[in-house]
């Protein structure tokens, strides 16, 4: 079965830079979503751990690679702290979310 979402947070082709980020630096993200999902819009949701704030940043469609839609986006620089993120996709059948399970991102 093909993966529905391809994103590996420890690979430079998906996330740059890797690891902990110094205050004032942005993060570049690239992910692929199975075309059969019918994604109309995708975004990355960032949660700040201490205050519980939530920010959403749109992902831009880059084109196709095989059976996948390719998206890119940026998490702008943030104040020092602990942050979590996940992907949110809107499609013809509603909203779905992608996050980490083990070493892979899953829906």
Nearest Cα residue to 89 out of 63, 47, 58: 58
Rounded distance, CA 18 to CA 31, Å? 15
Before 17, cis peptide (omega within 30)? yes
Q: Could you tell me the pTM of the whole model?
A: 0.84
Give the pLDDT confidence score for residue 99 in this predicted structure.
Answer: 62
Cross-strand pairs, 28: 16, 74
- pLDDT tens digit sequence for 45-78: 999 988 889 999 999 999 999 999 999 999 999 9
The mean pLDDT value for 7-32 works out to 92
Whether the pLDDT of residue 1 is over 80: the answer is no
pLDDT of residue 14: 93
Nearest-5° angle of CA 82, CA 28, CA 5? 90
């Amino acid at each position: 079965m093909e993966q529905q979402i391809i994103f590996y947070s420890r690979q430079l082709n998906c996330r740059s830079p890797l690891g902990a980020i110094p205050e004032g630096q942005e993060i570049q993200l690239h992910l692929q979503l199975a075309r059969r999902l019918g994604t109309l819009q995708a975004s990355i949701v960032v949660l700040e751990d201490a205050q519980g704030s939530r920010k959403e940043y749109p992902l831009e469609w880059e084109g196709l690679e095989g059976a996948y839609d390719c998206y890119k986006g940026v998490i702008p620089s943030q104040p020092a702290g602990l942050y979590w993120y996940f992907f949110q996709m809107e499609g013809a059948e509603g909203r779905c979310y992608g996050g980490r399970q083990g070493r892979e991102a899953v829906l």
